[in-house]
Every structure is written in C-alpha cells, then in structure tokens.
Amino acid sequence: MPDRFAYVFWHWPRPEILRESYEVKLASFLRALREDKASGVVEALSYRVEALPWGPQGAGLYEDWYVVESFSALGGLNDAAVSAAMQSPHDAIAKDYMKGAGGIFKSIKGDTLQRACFATWVEKPIGPSYQSYYDEVAGLTSGKNSDLWRRQMVLGPSPQFCVHSEEALELPAKLRPFSSKVQRIGSD
C-alpha cells in the first residue's frame, strides 16, 4: 500500500448548537469536499465520538479524517477546504464550531476507516523498534478488521497511535489503550 496520510481534526460545537444541525452541516461540508475531487484527497469522513481525554467531557465530540495520497497533498487539502466551491459549506459548519485540535497521521497498515466502530488510542512502549511494535500490534489484531495510524511530527494532542476496528479490542496495559466507540456520520 502506498503511503497515505491523514489530517485528523477533533472539534465540537458551541453548547447552544443542536447536534442534528451540526451534523447536517458537517455532512454537507464532507460531501462537497469529496465532490470537489481536490488533487491528492482520497477520503473525507467524520465520526461522532463517545469521549476522548483531549476533548470536552459530556459534550458532542467529532473526529474528522481527511486522507490524502502524500504528505505534500496536505497543502492541497488545506487550499481546497476553503476554496470558492467550498466556501459556503465550510462557513456553515465553521460558524457553529466552538473549539478543536488537529494532528497528522500516517497509515501503517490496514484500511478500516469506512467501517470502523471503535478507535483505540495506544502508545508504543520505550525500547522496542517501531517495526517490532507494528508487528506486535498486527499480531494482537490478527483476524480482526483493523488498521494502524501513527502520529507524525508530534502534531496533535492524541497518543502516538490509533487503531480503528469493527469490534472492541482488548490490548495489553503496557500499550496504555484508550478505546472509544465511534459512529460515522454523513455517510451517503
């Protein structure tokens, strides 16, 4: 599989914004971005997330994954997201947004974003090589539909790795797993 990268954006609406309204606007933005077919953009999707330590507690939290062909395609994504064709759907969701944070991730293995029901955030223990860590995670998730993404350049508030899966994963405590149920929104 060729290298793929993702800009991951966690965000939440202002308290007075209804969830349904926010999700309709978010889905419209994602659909417009997919239809725009910006150079290098592979996929754009969003999940409603139960909870994450770096997000608001007890409030609506969203996690967008904007997958691109290469690290250099992130610039094209940035430009496309606010281009003339995207201005109206972008502004509609942006005016309801309260706060957010983002990070950049590289795909290490698998392709489960479209079908994910869980996101499990894990850390690599000090000591093992990255390759042996990748092999360990692959062994722990063997037989399960899953993927593995690695945070790049220490950009973002999350742990270093994310595993998406269709079913809940039980991972060893040494990986400091934190799992959250995710529900894809705006899938059409």
Q: Encode pLDDT of 34-55 as tens digits.
A: 888 778 888 899 999 988 988 8
For 50, the 3-state DSSP assignment is coil
pTM, two decimal places: 0.92
Identify the pLDDT of residue 47: 95
Q: For the chain, how many structural domains are there in total?
A: 1
Exposed/middle/buried for 53, CB within 10 Å: 0-12, 13-18, 19+? exposed
Domain with 108, as residue range(s), is 5-185
Identify the pLDDT of residue 49: 94
Please answer whether residues 74 and 5 qualify as being in contact, where contact means their C-beta atoms are separated by less than 8 angstroms: yes
Residue 92 pLDDT > 70, yes or no? yes
**What CATH number did the domain enclosing 132 receive?**
3.30.70.100
Identify the pLDDT of residue 21: 94
Q: Whose CA is closest to 109, among 78, 157, 148? A: 148
Q: What are phi and psi of 128, to 5 degrees?
A: -65, 155
Q: Encode pLDDT of 78-88 as tens digits.
A: 888 888 888 89
Q: Encode pLDDT of 143-170 as tens digits.
A: 788 999 999 988 888 989 999 999 999 9
Residue 118 pLDDT > 90, yes or no? yes
Q: Rounded mean pLDDT of the chain?
A: 89
